[in-house]
Amino acid sequence: MDTDWIKIYWDFMIKEDFENAIPLKDLHFPESFFKYRRLSEKTIETLEDNYIWLAEISSLNDPFECSIQFDNDECLREYYASKKFITNFNSITGQDLTKQEIEILTTDEKPYERFIEICGKRKIQLQLTAKQQIDKIQQRWKEIIDESTQNLRICSFSTVKYSLLLWSHYSLDHKGICLEYNFQNHELVRPFIQPVLYSDKVHKIGKFEDYTTMQMIGSSLIKSIDWKYEREWRLTIFKQKEKFPQKVTVEKPKAIYLGTCFYKNDKKLISKFLGIAKNKNIQVYQMDKHPTEFRLIEKKNTTDNNVFTK
């Protein structure tokens, strides 16, 4: 599958170039999105009430979610140029920096190393080592990111239904189900669902001030290349004033796929789930193992083969 367009799309979005981003996404918009779930009362409720659930970032299974790297040196250069730093330096040390020293601090490739040299020449004892200073900056970055991501909620989908790993990881070892959705005409989902970009590098930006809403959303759309098999698209909703939905109403699924071990679930849950699917007239398919290959196949028209009374 050609995914080179996703990086181009992501760059457009980060730059808020929606004029180019939206048509590119529309050109590659999938006909179907697949949601893997374990069979539970919550899953049954989402089917019965026609909604999808938006999860908090902190509840996801990837510790690198929304990771972003700031340019420490760029942030330091900006800080050294600020009136706050110059005033604090005078207040703490009783000395004034020269224009030449400030010029060095705001232009050098390694500003903190130059700051150490300047303090050394002035016989000023520093309270923090270079490593401690970087750690302090990184901690501040983390606090900002953690605070920002509390304003995001997402719902993840895949564009594949035959993935052995997805069935194992998100459908309780093939005992769960996979719901197929069509979002072509959904007025809320379609504009806000976007492809995930897989990379071996954490996204890097310059300064605090560069961390915009789109940068925040963009960071939620980058994952390690190890997750590439998921072929994920994410519906990302961010808090606007006091409105922060956890549910999004959707049309009933196009189809439902049962895991190869689906009938190991509680019989009452099975009966309830399949009964709702039947009442909603949703086509149900049974996933099965291919007889000679390591892949899944689906049994078509299983509703005509007594799947509800198995």
- Pick 145 or 94 by higher pLDDT: 94
Task: Tell me what the pLDDT averaged over the chain comes to.
Answer: 86
Q: Are 124 and 92 in contact (CB under 8 A)?
A: no
CA angle 110, 113, 116 (to 5 degrees): 150
Integer angstrom CA distances of residue 205 from 67, 199, 282 = 11, 15, 46
CA pair distance 75, 39, nearest whole angstrom: 48
* Lowest-confidence segment of 184-198, 231-245, 254-268 by average pLDDT: 231-245
Work out the pLDDT band at 249, boundaries 50, 70, 90: very high
Contacts of 101-105 spanning 24+ positions with Cβ under 8 A: 105/76, 105/77, 105/80, 105/81
Confidence at residue 214, expressed as pLDDT on a 0 to 100 scale: 82
- Helices and strands of the chain, counted as H and E runs: 12, 15
Q: What is the number of other CB atoms lying within 10 angstroms of the CB of residue 17?
A: 13
Mean pLDDT of 166-195: 95
What pairing do the DSSP bridges indicate for beta strands 283-289 and 197-199?
A: unpaired
Confidence at residue 248, expressed as pLDDT on a 0 to 100 scale: 92
- Pick 115 or 51 by higher pLDDT: 51
Q: Are 168 and 192 in contact (CB under 8 A)?
A: no
Confidence at residue 1, expressed as pLDDT on a 0 to 100 scale: 52
Mean pLDDT of 112-136: 80
Q: Taking 80 as the threshold, does the pLDDT of residue 219 lie above it?
A: yes
Mean pLDDT of 292-307: 72
What pairing do the DSSP bridges indicate for beta strands 222-224 and 197-199?
A: parallel
